[in-house]
Amino acid sequence: MRGRLLVSISSIFSDTRGAVAGMVKSLDAEGIPVSLLVAPHIDGNWHLAKDAKTRDWLLAQQEDGRPLILNGFDQAVQGRRSEFATLEAHEARLRVAGATRQMRKIGFETDMFAPPRWRMSPGTLEVLPEFGFALAASTRGLHNLVDGTFVQCRNLSVGEGFGAAKWWRRNVIRAAERGAARGNTIRLSVSGRNLQDKKVANDFLKAAVAAVGAGADPGDYRDFAD
């Protein structure tokens, strides 16, 4: 049985927008869909609502049918604890409410959620259906919030709290290829910060292409939300 390949990019803001756009173009050329993880705030300083160029680019992507995934309320800089990793339901509810309200105000609608670094507390998972989310992605896998089904699938990340060195990227490429050959669903994610390094960008693209070459069908996260 053929597995699926799901590719995503996070940390999309003013400094990374060019590199992210370049990777999106490269993946499109290979026929590999890519989902964009977006947040209203990054590092506490950058605000999507105040960055017209990034906002307009993301809105254009949304209008073209690109899948957008809410990536928390304030996607923290590397080195800090992940935003939704340990939250109880009450605090998670407040943060999700703030994020969805701010994103909707500037024209973004999505029914998919992935916390920064994919680390999601039980309390966060509990409250997401209250806001109309159909899918949640975590380190463990994909949670369909409509029918309650769960798909366990490994996430291979470059940057954003994970490795980005050459040896790490080499292992990601091999793991993506091996998993695809076994018929597993492969999730590849990369931080826009790391895509500014051309070697990292080339290896990430290589991992996605290798997974397809080994038998994975390119798809996107919406396939698991239906």
Q: Which domain holds residue 117?
A: 4-224
CATH code at 169? 3.20.20.370
User: What is the DSSP code (8-state) at residue 223?
Assistant: G
Model confidence, pTM = 0.94
Task: Please state, in angstroms and rounded to a whole number, the distance separating the CA atoms of residues 189 and 91.
Answer: 27
CB 71 within 8 A of CB 114: yes
Residue numbers of the chain with a pLDDT score lower than 50: 77-79
Query: Which of 208, 192, 200, 201 lies closest to 78, judged by CA?
Result: 192
Number of compact structural domains in the chain: 1
Query: Which of 154, 155, 84, 98 lies closest to 126, judged by CA?
Result: 84
Please give the pLDDT value at position 154.
Answer: 81
Neighbours of 113 (CB within 10 A): 27
Please give the pLDDT value at position 82.
Answer: 80
Placement of tokens 């966060």 in the chain: 124
Task: Please state, in angstroms and rounded to a whole number, the distance separating the CA atoms of residues 43 and 108.
Answer: 20
Please give the pLDDT value at position 78.
Answer: 44
Please give the pLDDT value at position 1.
Answer: 62
Please give the pLDDT value at position 99.
Answer: 96
